[in-house]
Amino acid sequence: MKTFADIKAYCSDPKNRNTVNVGLFVLLIISSHYLYLLWKDVMLFWPFAKLVDKLMLWSVDLVFSQATWLLDSVFRIDITTVTSSRFIATPNVDGGWARVTVAPECASLKQWMHWLFLMILFPGPWKHKLWYIPAGLVIIEWTNVVRICGVLLMQIPWPNSFQIAHDYIFKVFFYLIIFLMWVLWVEKFYNPSIKSKQHE
């Protein structure tokens, strides 16, 4: 059985840095997921419930307005919207409707918290974290917008694709973007900071 000293020695060995980094990434993402569920479902966002509700509503309205702009101005899709319920629809190939409703669960809040939790706790130089964390939040917001649009657009040629698009394709896409941003952080900022310390 490995002792704490063995684990520490393994983690300190430069040959194991990539394995340790990926392990820490997985640990932090899984931990933030369950801590978020605990805070939401058990603690009901205590003691910031009112603030979180306002933030969630603001985030949903933001995603809705950005998604409608992207569909209308960039993709040039003829959409029908109901602003009060944040509903977006467009005709599909069967003569029916491809549609999405931007619900509170569609807000970027959970992924923002994953990103904050990951980047605050993962090691690296704070002079870069101060701009990299906010930049990541903006990228996550627009990833969510692409996700909403993607779920709608997939339903145009494939009318029954909502479930697979929503639950699998674009959920994986969302976390892939977070993973790639983390990889960029490790390769461009964290690893070079370790090397520079070793040469001091």
In 3D space, the residue among 21, 183, 182, 37 whose CA is nearest the CA of residue 110 turns out to be: 37
Which long-range contacts link 92-98 to residues 24+ away (Cβ below 8 Å)? 92/155, 92/156, 92/157, 92/159, 93/156, 93/157, 93/159, 94/159, 96/159, 98/152, 98/153, 98/154, 98/155, 98/156, 98/159
Instruction: Specify the higher pLDDT residue, 137 or 200.
Output: 137
Q: How confident is residue 2, by pLDDT bands cut at 50, 70 and 90?
A: low
Give the separation between CA 60 and CA 77, rounded to whole angstroms.
Answer: 21
Instruction: Specify the higher pLDDT residue, 63 or 106.
Output: 63
Average per-residue pLDDT in the chain? 90
pLDDT of residue 199: 56
Q: How confident is residue 163, by pLDDT bands cut at 50, 70 and 90?
A: very high
Q: Which amino acid, 84?
A: S
* Least confident piece of the model among 11-25, 130-144, 160-174: 11-25
Please give the model's pTM, rounded to 2 decimal places.
Answer: 0.89
CB 102 within 8 A of CB 148: yes
Taking 90 as the threshold, does the pLDDT of residue 6 lie above it?
no
Q: What percent of the chain clears pLDDT 70, i.e. is strictly above it? A: 97
Mean pLDDT for the stretch of residues 180-194: 92
Taking 70 as the threshold, does the pLDDT of residue 200 lie above it?
no
Give the separation between CA 100 and CA 81, rounded to whole angstroms.
Answer: 10
Q: List pLDDT tens digits, range 111-136.
A: 999 999 999 999 999 999 999 999 99
Mean pLDDT for the stretch of residues 19-47: 91
In 3D space, the residue among 30, 27, 36, 25 whose CA is nearest the CA of residue 184 turns out to be: 25
pLDDT of residue 198: 63
Q: How confident is residue 173, by pLDDT bands cut at 50, 70 and 90?
A: very high
Q: List pLDDT tens digits, range 54-91.
A: 999 999 999 999 999 999 999 999 999 999 899 999 99
Taking 60 as the threshold, does the pLDDT of residue 1 lie above it?
no
